[in-house]
Structure 1
Amino acid sequence: MNYLDLFLGVALLVSYVLLFYNHHLTGRKALLYYSLAWLSLAVPVFSSDRGVYIVGLAFFSAFLWAGNVEAIDELTLNNETARSLLYLSILPVLIVFLFYPEHETSAYALLGLWIVLSALLLGFYGGRTLLPMSALQAFLGVVVALSGLIPFFRLRIIPAFLGVVLAFESVRTFLRTSFVGDFSIGSIKDVGLDEKPGLVLVPSAPEDVLSSALVFSRSPRNAPNWFWITTVHDERAISPTNLPKILDMAVKFMREAGEAGKKPIIVIDGLDYLVLENGFPSVLKFLSALRDYALVHGATVFIVGSDDFLSERERKLLRSIVGEGNA
């Protein structure tokens, strides 16, 4: 083993530790699968045995698929579909079992194609935040597929290097989209809301609701559970394009409030700004997932503002998941 192999192996192990620790802090299942993927890719780097390498690559492909499925599930809350797709993660291991070593070229080609398929799944359903990860995964899949045909790509250093780049992009992405902190659950008061769980479009939200809710607003305020939607860097600011983090925070608030016996209330002020920054399809998908989580946890989410800026078609799509009311 040379120093470069050692460096890449250690880098992959560091990625495993960072992702697993972030899973411990946030409870996101996708991070658990991703951490196991990098561990599976790191172990073969320390071995010169080709059999160990391709088995590690198979487990990497399996856990990568599972991580992508869980990452998408966090955005869509389609547990039945996610559970069905997770069963497919065993296929890369079966590929190696059936094709290696007699058909080594075919085994590498199929593993590479599986990684590309995983990347396409993530890119198509994961939203723009996960697109860089998707692109790197697809590139890695092409390299793995070619390694069975072109001797140059059989050098393990190439997929290992790409794996390190992808690992740190994964760490960066999930640290950016995960909320690690505490909410002020003690400040939540019973405001006597009679709104049903789900999403409600309202012209404004009164102060008693704002003081007892998790608020995402275009206006900054020094108040508990209040976050400023802006591109400005601030301790309590959140980027308008970081919809996965807003969803992650909202779901955690719902869970913590519910565990404390409080009714979870969430206020999102700035629908027009979110649509401007993300596009209507992305915001609709985000609100649909948020609505589903609200129904599961008995939470009420107030969308403050008007939908007059939308087209008639977009307004109908929005009204199909958002009710109307007066806070």
Structure 2
Amino acid sequence: MMELIFGSAFLISYVLLFYNYHLTGRKALVYYALAWFSLSIHFFIPRKSIYAVGLAFFAFLIWLGNIRASEELLCATKYSRELRYFSAVPLAGLIFLFPENLTASFAVLSASIMFSGVYLVSTGNRDLRLMGLLEGIFAVTSFLRGYYFSSQYIALVEALLAFLLAYVSIKTFLDSSFIGEFEVMDVKTELKSGLRMMGSVPPEVLEGALVFSRQKRDLPNWFWVTKVSDEGISPTNLPKILDITVKFMKKASERGKHAVIVIDGLEYLVLENGFSSVIKFLATMRDYALLHNATIVIMGDDSFLDERGRKILRKLLD
């Protein structure tokens, strides 16, 4: 009976993560969902060998999920792509160490989960850091679970951690994703696709564009960027701004329309996030704009930047 309860907790985590993937489109949630599913099986087939296989695939998937999560939330480290290859370590540990070296095999599997959690902590993102810490605790629990497989207490702690980690993962991606509809209108403009900077934008363009501004207006597709109200978007939530922008571009492209995105308040974003984070954010937006034949307009000027900052920004401008 207890095994059924624990297994159900993992399966519920799987269902919730997969459902939220459909809501948000965040591909990291697919990896996380499959990771929890792989761990649920041993509760229905209670064998140590099944647990070892499930834990190996969990470590493999959680590593890939963490790399993808850091990319989707714009805080990937310099060598994140190369780190993908280390996801094979837990599978190699299972093949070469289990079952002859039981303790060593579980040590390798747990260490893989631990290091993937350390990667999240190293990103500096507050939400990912919490997920990384929980994964570190889960890694210790998984090692004890493999060593004391018959312990119901450790199984309970592991199941509770699974559910907590799933909840934190879902909340992190819901907070950074847009779930809603757009009004995609025709915008009469001769602007070419890419990233541009303009001192002002004509009213007729603003009415049909997707706008992020420090000013609050009751217009379609106008998002208020502010820290003082839950009605707007926090200036530090760059992943959500990017998510809204990309979904708007895709929808406009599907309807054969030219999307225009206006960012009013670049200085505010730089002040809240730092120059390097905003440049990475703008570079990603520019790539999507070129892909979907859209135009991103930075409204204002770059006088608040130093000479080096202006040179870097102007390299991005089309």
Structure 2 gaps of 5+ residues are none
| Counterpart in the other structure of 1:167 | 166
User: What is aligned with 1:96?
Assistant: 94
8 Å Cα contact 1:41/1:160 also seen in 2: no
Task: List gaps (5 residues or longer) in structure 1.
Answer: none
Q: What TM-score does the superposition give when structure 1 sets the normalisation length?
A: 0.84
Match of 2:247 among 245, 248, 252: 252
TM normalised by structure 2 equals 0.87
C-alpha distance in 2 between matches for 1:138 and 1:77: 19
Q: C-alpha distance in 1, partners of 2:209/2:253?
A: 13
Q: Distance in 1 between matches of 2:7 and 2:122?
A: 31
Q: Is the Cα–Cα contact under 8 Å of residues 12 and 167 in structure 1 kept in the other structure?
A: no
Query: Which residue number corresponds to residue 227 of structure 1?
Result: 223
Q: How has the CA–CA distance of structure 1 residues 311 and 156 changed in structure 2, closer, same or farther, with 3 Å as cutoff?
A: farther
Question: Which SS does the other structure have where 1:200 is aligned?
Answer: strand
CA distance in 1, matches of 2:4, 2:55: 18
Matched, 1:317 2:312: yes
> What is the rounded CA distance, in whole Å, between the counterparts of 1:221 and 1:315 in structure 2?
30
What is the number of equivalent residue pairs in this alignment? 315
Which residue matches 2:200? 204
- Which piece of structure 1 moves more, 210-219 or 48-57? 48-57
How big is the shift at 1:171? 0.9
Q: Is 1:15–1:171's contact at 8 Å kept on the other side of the alignment?
A: no
Say what the alpha-carbon RMSD is for the aligned residues: 2.9
**Counterparts of 2:277 and 2:165, CA distance in 1:** 24
Identity of aligned residues (%): 49
1:154 CA displacement: 9.7
After TM superposition, give the deviation of residue 222 of structure 1 in Å: 1.1
Residue equivalent to 2:42: 44
Q: CA deviation at 1:245?
A: 1.1
Alignment CA distance shift 1:92-1:219 (3 Å)? same
Does 1:190 find its partner at 2:151?
A: no
CA distance in 1, matches of 2:100, 2:9: 32
**1:136 and 1:263 mapped to 2: Cα distance?**
43
Instruction: Give 1:45 deviation, angstroms.
Output: 3.7
Q: Deviations over 1:189-217 (max 9, x none)?
A: 2312233x222122222212211211111
- Secondary structure of the residue aligned to 1:302 is strand
Q: CA deviation at 1:300?
A: 0.9
Match of 1:216 in 2: 212
**Residues 222-301 of structure 1 mapped to structure 2, 5 A cutoff:** 222-235=218-231, 237-301=232-296
Q: CA deviation at 1:251?
A: 0.7
Quick one: which amino acid aligns to residue 260 of structure 1?
A: R
Closer/same/farther in 2, CA of residues 129 and 207 from structure 1, 3 Å limit: farther
SS of 1:238's partner is coil
- Give the secondary structure class of the aligned counterpart of 2:208: coil
